[in-house]
Amino acid sequence: MQPIPDYASSVAEQLKSMTEAGTLKADKAQMEVANHLDRILHDLKQRRPAAKKSALGWMFAQKRKSQQAVRGLYVHGSVGRGKTMLMDLFFRMAPVEKKRRAHFHEFMADVHGRIHAHRQKLKNGETKQADPVPPVAAALREEAELLCFDEFTVTDIADAMILARLFTELFARGCTLVATSNVEPENLYRDGLNRGLFLPFIGLLQRHVEVTTLDSPVDYRLEKLESLPVYTTPLSAEADRLMDIAWERITEGRREIATEIEMKGRSVPIPRAAGRAARFSFAELCAQPLGASDFLEIARRFDVVFIDHIPLLGPQKRNETKRFIILIDALYDASVRLFASAAAMPEGLLTEKKGTEGFEFDRTISRLFEMRSADYLALHQNARAEV
């Protein structure tokens, strides 16, 4: 995370000072987004005195749900253009005490948890409020008047169905939203199940945020990734250390959480997730009863996947070998960036090439080699941005 100069009073000034210091390259597109963020900083500062005029004023505003929210910002564009960096700078300068920054999936998991807890209270007779959304929104607004979401995306139908109602409540209570995304609002939840029920949220979002594009011609993430070891062998403490370094660089300080993906009445655990990156051991993916649909969903949810401790494979690990072949196919076809530590180079992983697995593993070897290259990242980065 970039340090903020002591004398900087705006995101634009921060960018300018870091450019002058040589820690950033001058980027007109980033500066334009910085100016939008500075408008929000100004508006938030202007709102503070009015909010403090009367101790009772906020109480009545809460009852009426009529406090005017500062208009937020929705920044979309391809990966690696600096959206996360700009969000970092803005969030740290935002002149409000109650603010929250989270990956969108993490936030929605929290929302669903609160809704479930409210329904349990209703079931136990602890509340008479049948609709959980207003009290959940009130609690969220009490905790934060500024919500910042990195990598805003909607892939889950449960999220899609609740967003319009939830944010109608949040915006009415004066909550300001700033978000980054790989897609413009019109393409959120594209081709999703019952998308017509989601469309009111898009209209609501566009009324409460400015929408702008960060279309810098330079992919700064690509520049970073080209210097990282993406396939480390043999397995050792040094390999673990290099994987940890790459993970820290990719996640860029985001909070790491354990989560899960719901799959038709069951769940696929994600032991380590941060933003659009996920990290697993080989055993967590390939020694478990997971199939193609599970791997496809992982590939859809995450742009970057880390796999630690890929062992030598052979007849004694036939099931694991089959799953590994399917896993690599899913990640490759979805243009996911792979980081891996393994017992051997790809061509040495399979100790005995017999039967169908031996034939199919030749494709896996080829794909593992391609996924290690900078060309794979450059060619497939745009494909991920369109997902």
Question: How confident is the prediction for the chain on average, in pLDDT?
Answer: 84
Residue extents of the structural domains in the chain = 11-213, 220-385
115-121's contacts with Cβ under 8 Å and 24+ in sequence apart are 115/162
Between 273 and 379, whose confidence is greater? 273
Top-tier CATH class for 220-385 = alpha beta
Lowest average pLDDT, out of 82-86, 284-288, 339-343, goes to 82-86
Q: Per the structure block, which two tokens stand in for 373?
A: 């290259």
- Measured between alpha carbons, how far is 284 from 266 in angstroms, rounded to an integer? 16
In the block, which residue shows the tokens 């017999």? 354
54-62's contacts with Cβ under 8 Å and 24+ in sequence apart are 61/174, 62/138, 62/173
What is the per-residue pLDDT across 37-52, written as a single tens digit (0 to 9) for each?
A: 999 999 998 876 544 4
pLDDT given at position 67: 57
- Is residue 56 packed enough to be buried (19+ CB in 10 Å), middle (13-18) or exposed (0-12)? exposed
- Measured between alpha carbons, how far is 40 from 37 in angstroms, rounded to an integer? 5
Alpha helix segments (H runs only) across 271-373? 282-286, 292-301, 318-333, 346-349, 355-371
Q: Is the pLDDT of residue 59 over 60?
A: no
Q: Return the sign of the alpha-carbon dihedral for residues 200, 201, 204, 210.
A: negative
Among 30, 136, 36, 142, residue whose Cα is nearest residue 80: 30
Contact 171, 71 (CB under 8 A): no
**DSSP E strand boundaries for the chain:** 72-76, 99-103, 146-150, 176-181, 209-213, 231-232, 257-263, 266-274, 277-281, 304-310, 337-342
Average of pLDDT values for 258-283? Answer: 89
pLDDT given at position 143: 96
In the block, which residue shows the tokens 């207003």? 134
pLDDT band at 228 (very low <50, low <70, confident <90, very high): low
21-27's contacts with Cβ under 8 Å and 24+ in sequence apart are 25/218, 27/82, 27/216, 27/218
What is the per-residue pLDDT across 303-359, written as a single tens digit (0 to 9) for each?
A: 899 999 999 998 889 899 999 999 999 998 888 989 999 999 999 999 987 766 777
Contact 323, 289 (CB under 8 A): no
pLDDT band at 36 (very low <50, low <70, confident <90, very high): very high
In the block, which residue shows the tokens 């069951």? 266
Lowest average pLDDT, out of 58-72, 120-134, 336-350, 362-376, goes to 58-72
pLDDT given at position 236: 95
**CATH no., domain 11-213:** 3.40.50.300
Do 11-213 and 220-385 come out as alike in CATH topology? yes
What is the per-residue pLDDT across 140-193, written as a single tens digit (0 to 9) for each?
A: 999 999 999 987 888 778 888 899 999 999 999 999 999 998 789 998 888 788
pLDDT given at position 355: 64
pLDDT given at position 262: 82
pLDDT band at 220 (very low <50, low <70, confident <90, very high): low
Q: Per the structure block, which two tokens stand in for 378?
A: 């450059």
Average of pLDDT values for 252-257? Answer: 82
In the block, which residue shows the tokens 């390999």? 239
Q: Is the pLDDT of residue 105 over 60?
A: yes
CA atoms within 13 A on the CB side of 246: 27
